[in-house]
Structure 1
Amino acid sequence: MAFDLTKYKALSFDIYATLIDWETGIYNALSFLLSRLPSTSPNSPLSNPTPSPLSQRKFLLAAFTRHESALQIENPKWTYNKILANVLIRVATELGVTYTEDEAVHFSDSVASWPAFDDTVEAMQELAKHYKLIVLSNVDHTRFRGTLSGPLNGVDFDAIYTAEDIGSYKPDLGNFEYLIENVHNSFGIQKHEILHVAQSLTHDHVPAKSVGLSPGVWIRRAGGDSAIGGSVKELADKIELGIEFDTLGEMAEAVRDAFRER
């Protein structure tokens, strides 16, 4: 049976990795640490005489993910800029390279420069014709304002729920419970009428299933081979995906066609 995109009233979105190309943004803002590694360092792919740019990228993003997740669990009430500053400190310490406090602050403020995927703005404008658009993001208000006025300029959301509002970070189930409660209170929309859209399996689709949201939309950025977000094979028993698209643009086209045919 075909997945019915027309039966939902609200789309909730992960932002960074789904709408924003945060892997590129993070790597560009953090990669200067790699240049400080000695060529013989066992902590880096630079120990390889001919390191692959892709292997360097995955190496650094994997380190970022480990430390970001740990810090969010340890300090759920920290704002995201403080999380990011401490991620840089921990990554630099793991690599055994120097850093300055100014560099940590600069990295924590780099969020607004992380680029949107090319299809994002146009796709979101199409989706806004059919649904309430809700943000559910591991970010703070200041960082998200920078994203809204920068790479997401032209996108309008009906509600914005951040980790700063909620007091915890995804994949904490409380974030999704907050989403369900507030969408109902604000718009009269029931849980089964919310469709969650995200790239990350671990941060989004696993907890979405746990709280009983409808099977979600997986946006397979990088063909599902993202350095951040988890593996379908490893998480098969913990997720329930309703439909999959390679890009948000593909989803917007499918939605437009579905409502035309209704």
Structure 2
Amino acid sequence: MSEFKATQYKVLIFDVYATLIDWETGLWENLKPLLERIHSPLANSKNEALSAFFSVESDLQARYPTMLYRDLLARAHAELARRLKGEPTHPETLDTINAASGSTTGTSAPTNPSLDVEEQEHIAFGQAIPSWPVFPDTIPALHTLSTHYKLTVLSNVDKTSFSSTRHILETSLPSHQFKFDAIYTAEEIGSYKPNVANFEYALRRIKEEFGVEREEVLVVAASLAHDHVPANELGLGSVFVDRGAVSLNKDVSARYDAKFGSLGEFADEVRRQAGS
């Protein structure tokens, strides 16, 4: 840890969902109603349920790289239900769900007489992102880090969904307010992480907006596969925030410059090195 020089960087690139937001708990709590309703054995195992969901999600992200994340979540929820029930996929039904999901906002399913209860359940799942919990150390840590770095976000979540999360992070603790300096999403880039194009886009924008070179950019993330592997490929410095995720990082190896058990621990190390 003593060899890690946090103060040599000027800009942090954050993953949000899994690093700042408890993505797994948010997904699990919103998956349980489906799993219990169809009497799936996965209702008794968070690890197995999330692994099954992420398998579906990864397939869809590769197939539909430009689909908005809230729509992709709705589609993944529907596809997971079909796989668990042993039913065939009906693309036309999934297209109907995406069309309805993309035209709504909020965290509850829309009232639409053309959709059945299950279809509305799929849409509600995609709209639930703002309800996902914040890790308790996140906001104080971001407040501290904002005094030392430019804070940027590189997220797979669409702009509308992230806007609610951003408001929660930036304003919910008045004594620890901060502002993100830039937001880059899969929606504007046209692909999902771990595509290196997402990181190349962020680095280009950071250079244009802040005049900071890649050697002074540090990736801070909880997912080895989504963030550290592409960071390695591009030669970027990175910090692994190991939140103990049950389904991330299985069978994935990647290098990183430092590892912390929380974002708060990383912020404490930055404060120590900066002498503040």
* TM-score tier (shorter): 0.7 to 0.9
Residue 191 of structure 2 is aligned with which of 165, 168, 179? 168
Q: 1:254 is matched with which residue? A: 269
Structure 1 consecutive aligned stretches of length 4 or more whose deviation exceeds 6 Å: none
Could you tell me how far apart the structure 1 residues matched to 2:234 and 2:228 are?
10
Q: What's the counterpart of residue 82 of structure 1? A: 71
For 1:152 and 1:111, how far apart are their aligned partners in 2? Answer: 16
Q: CA RMSD in A?
A: 1.7
1:227 to 231, 246, 251: 246
Q: Pick from 80, 86, 92 the counterpart of residue 91 of structure 1.
A: 80
Alignment of 1:232-243 (within 5 A): 234-236=251-253, 239-243=254-258
Q: Equivalent pairs: percent with the same residue?
A: 42
Give the TM-score taking structure 1 as reference length: 0.88
Query: Alignment partner of 1:235: what SS?
Result: coil
* 1: CA distance, partners of 2:35 / 2:234: 40
Q: Deviations over 1:205-231 (max 9, x none)?
A: 0011112212x1000102xxx123213
1:240 match: secondary structure = coil
Look up the SS of the partner of 2:120 in the other structure: helix
Query: Amino acid of the residue matched to residue 25 of structure 2?
Result: T
Match of 2:16 in 1: 15
Q: Secondary structure at the match of 1:244?
A: strand
The number of equivalent residue pairs is 241
Task: Give the unaligned 5+ runs of structure 1.
Answer: none
SS in 2 for 1:122: helix
Query: TM-score, normalised to structure 2's length?
Result: 0.83
Contact 2:11 2:151 in 1 (8 A): yes
Q: 1:32 to 1:62 in 2, by over 3 A?
A: same
Structure-2 residue corresponding to 1:207: 230
Give the CA deviation at 1:155. Answer: 4.1
1:173-223 Cα distance to aligned partner (Å, 9 max, x none): 100110111101110000010000000000000011112212x1000102x
Match of 2:104 in 1: none
Cα distance in structure 2, aligned partners of 1:254 and 1:228: 27
User: Matched residue of 2:219: which SS?
Assistant: strand
